[in-house]
A and B are shown apart, each in its own frame.
Chain A
Amino acid sequence: MRKVCIVGVGATRFGSHPETPLKDLAVDACTAALADAGMGPDQIDAFYLGNYGAGMLVGQAFTASVVANELGLRSIPVTRIEDACASGGVALRHGWLMVASGQADAVLVAGVEKMTSAPTEAVTQALAAATDVESPEAHAGLTFPGFFAMVACRHMHEYGTRPEHLAAVAVKNRRNAQANPRAQFFGKPATLDQVLASRLIADPLRLFDCSPISDGAAAAVLCAADRLPEGARAVDILTIAHALGPANLSDMPDLTSFPATREAARQAYEAAGLGPEDIDVLEVHDCFSIAEVVALEDLGFVPKGEGGPAVAEGLTALDGRFPVNPSGGLLSKGHPIGATGLAQCFEIVRQLRGEADNQVTGARIGLMHNLGGTGGTVTVSLLARRGVA
Chain B
Amino acid sequence: MDQIPVLACSACGAVHLPPRRRCRSCGGDSLQEHAIDNAGELYAFTVIRVPPARYAGQEYTVAAARFAGGLVITGRLVEEKDGGTPLSGLEPGRAVRLASRDGRACRLQLA
A interface with B by C-beta (< 8 Å): 119-122, 124-125, 128, 134-143, 145-146, 149-151, 153-154, 157, 199-205, 246, 248-253, 255
Contact = CB atoms under 8 A, between A and B. Distances in A.
Nearest to B106: A136
A253 B76 contact: no
Contacts of A149: 46
Interface in B66-111: 70, 72-76, 87, 91-93, 103-106
A136 B49 contact: no
5 contacts: A121-B51, A140-B75, A145-B50, A153-B45, A249-B64
Contacts of B55: 141
Contacts of B87: 203
A141 B48 contact: yes
Nearest to A128: B52
Contacts, number: 114
Interface residues of B, number: 34
Contact of A203 (B47, B51, B54): B47
Contact of B52 (A141, A203, A248): A141
B103 A139 contact: yes
Contacts of B24: 246, 251
Most buried by A among B52, B56, B87, B92: B52
B44 A153 contact: yes
Contacts of B53: 119, 121-122, 124-125
Contacts of A204: 46
B106 A202 contact: no
Contacts of A151: 44
A146 B48 contact: yes
Given A139-B75, A153-B46, 5 more contacts: A136-B75, A142-B46, A143-B52, A154-B92, A204-B46
Contacts of B62: 137, 140-142, 146, 150
Nearest to A124: B52
A201 B44 contact: no
B64 A150 contact: yes
Nearest to B53: A121
B109 to A, nearest CB: 13
A202 B44 CA distance: 12
A200 to B, nearest CB: 5
B48 A255 contact: no
Contact of B104 (A124, A135, A150, A154): A135
Given A140-B75, A250-B72, A202 B52 contact: no
